[in-house]
Amino acid sequence: MQTDFAKEPIVAHSNIALTNEEKIKVIRYHFREIMLALGLDLEDDSLKDTPGRVAKMFVNETFLGLNPVNEPSVTLFENKFKYNEIVLEKDIPLYSYCEHHFVPIIGKVHIAYISKGMVIGLSKLNRITEYFAKRPQVQERLTIQIAEYLKQVMAMEDVAVIIKAEHLCVASRGVNHTGCATVTQSLHGQFLKKERSSELYSLLAI
């Protein structure tokens, strides 16, 4: 027996903004079709609700960064202590999805800056990372996006972003090699100077 979500859904077009509920309906329908094409039994108790679960996960969690409403609000504070050395938050968890195969990218993000009069709430660095990670991504672009966003909101150039991540499109398919890590960096302002970049990498080794 067909359920409501098995009926033809709203047609999704890239130039039409859908509500979250409409997105879930579209994804639920098409993911069900994918499962059927794979020969899965959608009457099975373990599988029958999977299309809906996947649709909700995609919209509300995995790809929430695609919705501009989820852009984090950034809080800046006056640098009252006149601290003019490197501020580094390292080992920010990274969970993203490779846009080529839609499998996970898992790793760590390290963000550093040198204050020009303001400092940012540390948790905001995590939220900025999550906002750009929660969408289909390429690691190189993700690295640049985080750096450029931080430069914009803090109105400064002295920013560095380094990402080290494992791509499951390498580990779980294709060559099937585990333990391979990709490292990318986006250095700006003072971090382009050898002495500052060396200091940054020394801090990362602590």
| Residues belonging to the active site | 98-101, 139, 167, 169
CB under 8 Å to 39, separation ≥6 — which residues? Answer: none
Q: Which residues pair with 97 in a beta bridge?
A: 104, 136
Q: DSSP state, 126?
A: H
Cα distance between residue 180 and residue 8, in whole Å: 42
User: Which residues, in sequence order, are bridge partners of residue 117?
Assistant: none
User: Whose structure tokens read 């601290």?
Assistant: 83
What's the rounded Cα separation, in Å, for the pair 73 and 157? 20
CB 24 within 8 A of CB 59: yes
CA distance 203 to 91: 12
First and final C-alpha spacing in the chain: 60
CA–CA distance, 5 with 17 (Å, rounded to integer): 20
CA–CA separation, 137 and 118 (whole Å): 30
